[in-house]
């Protein structure tokens, strides 16, 4: 089997279907039907990706994700039956890498899984270390250090910072960011890029009065204003 994927969903009919489908495409699938059992599994084992339903017994998926992100940057795809924009935005703010609304075609989920795993496991794209004043972006190790302290970023957050820092001094419009960060085109009303940048700024210690790294270019996009050390 290939990559290990943990599915956390109390819908046993759906999880059985996904296990059968994804295993035929070379994945090793583990299922847990409650947050408690999922965390017990994660305490013992590591996974390459997590598929997380929002509607869970005892602790909803957003609460689960918030707790998970305290010490893990494993890629997460959220499942939601509600399809609310607010759910998607909150999930992205908490560190989800993608979401998909129920009902969905298994092949669409497969495509999103493959896209995220390609981004998170592509060593050919991670060849250098970018150094700025107080900030180091290590593409080889996929690590970020700010003022000498390791910053925990999700896969999508690291990808965004890597893209910004690799294009320091350039204005990057939202269309470019959508195409190069997520690999899928979001509808215009979705604030996913703005939410992602806001989350990244927070982890980099930025405030509205102190934009050390990412500047908003109103009506266009964003610019990474720190310049790399020679």
Rounded Cα distance between 155 and 131, Å, is: 20
The CATH architecture one would assign to domain 4-120 is 3-Layer(aba) Sandwich (3.40)
Q: Where do the domains of the chain lie? A: 4-120, 123-224
Q: Tens of pLDDT along 82-100?
A: 656 677 778 878 888 888 8
pTM of the model: 0.63
The CATH class, in words, for 123-224 is mainly alpha
pLDDT of residue 124: 42
Q: Point out the residues of the chain with pLDDT beneath 70.
A: 1-2, 82-85, 120-127, 182-190, 230
């Amino acid at each position: 089997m290939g990559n290990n994927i943990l599915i956390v969903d109390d819908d046993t009919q759906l999880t059985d279907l996904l296990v059968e489908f994804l295993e035929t495409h070379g994945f090793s699938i583990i299922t847990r039907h409650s947050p408690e059992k999922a965390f017990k599994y994660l305490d013992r084992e590591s996974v390459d990706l997590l598929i997380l339903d929002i509607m869970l017994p005892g602790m909803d998926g957003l609460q689960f994700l918030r707790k998970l992100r305290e010490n893990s940057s494993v890629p997460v795809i959220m499942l939601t039956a509600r399809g609310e924009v607010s759910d998607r935005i909150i999930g992205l703010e908490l560190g989800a890498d993608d979401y998909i609304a129920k009902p969905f075609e298994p092949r669409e989920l497969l495509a999103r899984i493959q896209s995220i795993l390609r981004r998170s496991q592509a060593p050919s794209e991670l060849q250098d270390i970018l150094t700025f004043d107080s900030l180091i972006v290590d593409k080889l190790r996929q690590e970020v250090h700010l003022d000498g302290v390791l910053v925990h970023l999700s896969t999508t957050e690291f990808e965004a910072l890597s893209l910004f820092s690799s294009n320091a001094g350039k204005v990057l419009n939202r269309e470019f960011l959508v195409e190069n960060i997520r690999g899928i085109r979001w509808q215009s009303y979705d604030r996913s890029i703005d939410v992602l940048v806001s989350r990244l700024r927070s982890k980099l210690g930025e405030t509205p009065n102190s934009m050390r790294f990412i500047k908003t270019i109103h009506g266009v996009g964003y610019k990474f204003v720190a310049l790399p050390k020679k």
